[in-house]
Amino acid sequence: MRKQERFQAFITHFAESKPEPQTELHYRNPYELLVAVILSAQCTDKRVNMISPALFRDFPSPEALAAASFEELFPYIKSISYPNNKTKHLLGMARMLVDEFNLEVPSTVPELQRLPGVGRKTAHVISSVVFNQPAMAVDTHVFRVSKRLGLVTQNAKTPLEVEKQLVKHIPQHYIGKAHHWLILHGRYVCLARKPKCPECELTHFCRYFEKYHGL
Ligand code: SF4
């Protein structure tokens, strides 16, 4: 199957089965999504959702968070991965929103990437989910699943390479959705250690399945 046909099959399947995919992080506004995405690095959305209600209740705005001390904020975050760094990042991010962005989450990727704790992936998630921009955020699920499906080449080494190959073939309108489709598929079906191929609906165009199940 040609690469373009794989992309077409991928988009057709999910556009029908999951037309409006959403992030599984809980949030009510751009500030809360930014906090949640920073916290979700190397951590599950489920775990972030367990701690975020208390965090959002007690630090409901960039201003409130910026006024917190490390010692005040750390207890809210201590049960997730890398709590020291994430506490520092959240404080730095909130202070920059107050000092340089008039309390608003910026809309462009370069501006977002200036915020502490915000790398290319996080900036693309915010840009895509909040501002509806055609930005592809590549996390571990997107990286793995897009390679297994054969949407990107097997020798793609970095998230940036994967991102470039994906956006080259996915129509702009579907880029944000495709990010969620790949994440959700990786989280629930195409698991890292043991993909659930027998119950997967993508076997007809999956390169991994073709290779290891002899189609
Ligand atoms: S067929 Fe298997 S390897 Fe391919 S996407 Fe589905 S679960 Fe993943």
The number of the ligand 1 atom at minimal distance from the alpha carbon of 196 is: 7
Q: What is the CA(196)–ligand 1 centre distance, in A?
A: 7
pLDDT of residue 87: 98
Above 70 in pLDDT, residue 118? yes
Instruction: For residue range 188-211, list pLDDT tens digits in order.
Output: 999 999 999 999 999 999 999 988
Q: What is the CA(185)–ligand 1 centre distance, in A?
A: 9
DSSP state of 167: H
Rounded mean pLDDT, 15-22: 96
| Pocket around ligand 1 at a 6 A CB cut-off | 148-149, 189-190, 195-197, 200, 202-203, 206, 208-209
pLDDT of residue 55: 98
Above 60 in pLDDT, residue 11? yes
pTM score, whole prediction: 0.92
pLDDT of residue 214: 66
Above 90 in pLDDT, residue 1? no
Q: Please, are residues 45 and 25 in contact by the beta-carbon 8 Å criterion?
A: yes
Residues 6 or more apart in contact with residue 193 via CB below 8 angstroms: none
Task: Report the residue among 209, 212, 213 best suited for mutation to probe ligand 1: largest number of ligand atoms under 8 A from its CB.
Answer: 209
- Across 73-86, b (16+ Cβ under 10 Å) vs e yields bbebbeebeebeeb
Strands (DSSP E) contained in 23-175 are none
pLDDT of residue 33: 98
pLDDT of residue 212: 84
Burial of 30 (0-12, 13-18, 19+ CB in 10 A): middle
The number of the ligand 1 atom at minimal distance from the alpha carbon of 148 is: 3
Using DSSP, state whether 116 is helix, strand or coil: coil
103 phi and psi angles, rounded to 5 deg: 70, 5
Above 60 in pLDDT, residue 215? no
Percent pLDDT > 70 in the chain is 99
Instruction: Return the closest-CA partner of residue 148 out of 21, 45, 6.
Output: 6
Residues 6 or more apart in contact with residue 168 via CB below 8 angstroms: none
Instruction: For residue range 26-76, list pLDDT tens digits in order.
Output: 999 999 999 999 999 999 999 999 999 999 999 999 999 999 999 999 999
Domains of the chain (ranges; CATH) run 3-21+136-213 (1.10.1670.10), 30-129 (1.10.340.30)
Rounded mean pLDDT, 116-145: 95
Q: Please, are residues 92 and 116 in contact by the beta-carbon 8 Å criterion?
A: yes
